Amino acid sequence: MTAQVSTLQQVTARADNPAGTASLAALVRLEFQKLSKRLMTRVLFGMMALGIGGLIGLTYLIRSLSSDLSVAVEDYTFPQVLTNGFDVISFIGPILIIILAAAAAGSDYSWGTVRTIVGSGVSRSKALLAQFLTMAAAATAVTLTGLLSTIVASLIIGALEGQGLQTGWITGAALGDLGLMIVRSSFVMIFFGALGFVTAHVTRSVAAGIATGIGLMVLGPISLAIVGTLGEFGERIDQFLVTANTEVLHGNVAGAGAPGPWQAAATLGFYIATGFLLSLVLFQRRDISVD
Amino acid sequence: MTTPYGHGSREAVIEARGLTKRYGEFVAADAVEFTVYRGDIFGFLGPNGAGKSTTIGMLLGLVAPSDGEVRLFGLPPAKQREGLARVGGIIEAPAFYPYLSGRDNLRALGHLRPGLSRERIDEVLETVQLAHAADRKFGKYSMGMKQRLGIAWTLLHDPELLILDEPTNGLDPAGMIEVRHLLLSLAEQGKTILISSHLLHEIEQVCDRLAVIQGGKIIAEGAIDELRAASTQIRIATSQPERAAELLTELDGVAAVRSGPEYLEVDAPDASSATINMALVSAGIPVDELRIHSATLEDAFLQLTANEQKVEVAA
């Protein structure tokens, strides 16, 4: 470095000397860069694409060997395949986004990079919001990846069955329904992502974020069943249970006793907002540990 | 509290005032006070666990003080983040993303520093002699390379103030010399630098002023030369050490008298040696030998940490 003194003098003289701190957009770019270059992200998105495409392909293969093939082809072509695809997305997607969100939030603590970020003078609330927005975008991207994989699998199966591209089903109403399914599915995904994100932030642990998120996915239906045995009291409280509301948004539950879609979205939205505010308050007040 | 003087109109870049951090009953930093002036290479010296990193954490806005305040560039504590935008800091081991290369780490984290160019990233990597390994993953770096990347990160936005916590940790002797030269060259350009270290020789060779912390308390602050002078001892060999010690303890300018195996060790300015000699001789105490022992920073540090007594020195 001794020999670099003159170079150093030149470069420091030429460098910008910003007085401000990073904007929210800059922080989102940082989070996006962190996420997109991480091997885990690529693996999880790959799992989503291959998992959904693979599941659709596998069931096609099994059913094509049966005598019931004509029915099966309808299930694997548009528009029915989209509904089936969203069913699979609603099963695989939350697990992947929980892992992704918990890792994004918790790793900054385990690697100590939270010191580098906060020590730069950046607003803590902006940093957290940027991380949350990136997680929400990733949750939507997970849904879209699953959908894309469904479409590709359907096109391949259609081609194998000698069917051309089916476009007759494409109407304004059908596209509206598809858009709604994307929004609903992404919203549920954001909820589970927020759960992993908030838990990892609060506990400063990736493992805790993943365990809580997946634990809720497993225990949610069991709780719903238990609450269902509690009669009128159970009916009153199951409206607030996570599984009851995610199932409504997935279109699996409807009718008397079930919350409406807007109510379900509002309930999950309330949980997301409460969780985010909790992590925001903690992050604002928390000492960034100096080990 | 020490009151540094002799700085004229120099701008205070860091002012720590009564900084205290309590974790339950444990006090990690206890009313820490010091001032770093523009252009200083300021050493923050203390043994491991003395409270250096906690104090630096408070300077960098990572740790909220239980009491007291930090002023960066004279800005009130409420504007600490504004001040931090003009600071490049690393605390403890440099922390980056292990799956990103050195260059990609600076690119990603560069979003925290508005207005940076890609060329600037390459320039700082060149400056810390890490260009050859810029595309290697951070997780594969040696400790020395990690330290270099940490320094590159602090230089990225050409800050006015560098706060470096143990910047030579893990570096080999050649690397330590390089970092020392780099810091000196940065200081020549007018940068203000605070270096925390438990390595006395590192501080002694680079810094012009320092604060010594022990047990969470600042026990000395000032110019290194003055600190050494304040720790100068007068060593006296006499056949009547008890009488001599009794007499000297009462003498003006004598801070402490200790009995060594061969000498009485008198903490007093070297200018008072004649007075001491005269006092002993006048009292009929024979002086076999009287010599001034010039203190090294190590002597001063050991004396300070042994006494745990605050020393006020001119800056």
Dump pLDDT digits (tens) for A30-65. Answer: 999 999 999 999 999 999 999 999 999 998 888 877
What average pLDDT score do residues B26-32 get? 96
Q: Quote helix, strand, coil % in chain B, to nearest 5.
A: 40, 25, 35
In A, what residues contact B, Cβ < 8 A? 1-2, 4-5, 7-9, 11-12, 15-23, 26-27, 29-30, 33-34, 37-39, 111-123, 285, 287-288, 290-291
Section A16-23 average pLDDT: 62
Q: Which residue has the higher pLDDT, A216 or A2?
A: A216
The dihedral over CA atoms of A83, A89, A92, A95, expressed in degrees to the nearest 10, equals -140
B-chain residues near A130 (CB < 8 A): none
**Residue in A11, A19, A285 nearest the CB of B123:** A11
ipTM over 0.90: no
Q: Please, which pLDDT band fits residue A145 given cuts at 50, 70 and 90?
A: very high
Mean pLDDT of chain B: 88
pLDDT at B237 over 70: yes
pLDDT at B253: 82
A290 vs B56: CB contact, 8 Å cut-off?
A: yes
pLDDT at A5: 37
Q: What is the 3-state secondary structure (H, E, C) of B147-211?
A: HHHHHHHHHCCCCCEEEEECCCCCCCHHHHHHHHHHHHHHHHCCCEEEEEECCHHHHHHHCCEEE
Per-residue pLDDT, B204? 87
Q: How far apart are CA A261 and CA B77, in angstroms?
A: 48
Q: What is the pLDDT of residues A72-99, one digit of tens each?
A: 678 888 888 999 899 999 999 999 999 9
Would you say residue B89 has pLDDT above 70?
yes
> Model confidence over B255-307: pLDDT tens digits?
888 888 888 988 887 778 889 999 999 999 999 999 988 777 887 777 777 76
Q: What is the mean pLDDT of residues B175-196?
A: 91
pLDDT above 50: residue A109: yes
**pTM passes above 0.80:** yes
CB contact under 8 A, B85 and A20: yes
3-class DSSP assignment, residue B308: coil
Least confident window among A40-44, A268-272, B47-51 = B47-51
Residue B307: per-residue pLDDT: 61
The radius of gyration computed from the CA coordinates of chain B, to the nearest angstrom, equals 23
Q: What domains sit in chain B, N to C, each tagged with a CATH number? A: 12-222 (3.40.50.300), 232-294 (3.30.70.100)
Q: In what order do the strands lie in the sheet containing B233-237? A: B256-259, B264-267, B233-237, B289-293
E-strand spans in chain B? 12-23, 26-37, 41-45, 67-72, 87-90, 161-165, 192-197, 209-214, 217-223, 233-237, 256-259, 264-267, 289-293, 311-312
Residues of chain A with Cβ-Cβ distance to B123 below 8 Å are 7, 11, 15
The pLDDT, as a whole number, for residue A245 is 93
Residue-level pLDDT at B45: 92
The whole-angstrom separation of Cα A166 and Cα A79 is 9
* pLDDT digit string, tens, across residues B61-87: 999 999 999 999 999 999 999 999 999
- From B162's Cα to the closest Cα of chain A, the distance in A is 12
Q: Nearest 5°: CA angle at B188, between B229 and B117?
A: 140
Residue labelled with tokens 């879209």: A144
Indicate the helix (H) or strand (E) that contains A230. Answer: none
Contact A7 B92 (CB under 8 A): no
Query: A255 or B150: whose pLDDT is higher?
Result: B150
Under the banding of pLDDT at 50, 70 and 90, the label for residue A290 is low
Return the DSSP state at A76: T
CA distance A15 to B116: 8
Query: CA-based Rg of chain A, rounded to a whole angstrom?
Result: 23
Q: How many CB pairs under 8 A join A and B?
A: 162
Confidence of residue A21 (pLDDT cuts 50, 70, 90): confident
Q: How confident is the model at residue A256 (pLDDT cuts 50, 70, 90)?
A: low
CA dist B10 and B127 (Å) reads 29
- For a pLDDT cut of 70, what percent of chain A falls above it? 89
Is the CB of B81 less than 8 angstroms away from the CB of A1? no
pLDDT at A6 over 60: no
Q: Which two tokens stand for residue B177?
A: 């010399």
Which residue carries 């009462």 as its tokens? B250
- How confident is residue A235, by pLDDT bands cut at 50, 70 and 90? confident
Percent of chain B with pLDDT over 70: 94
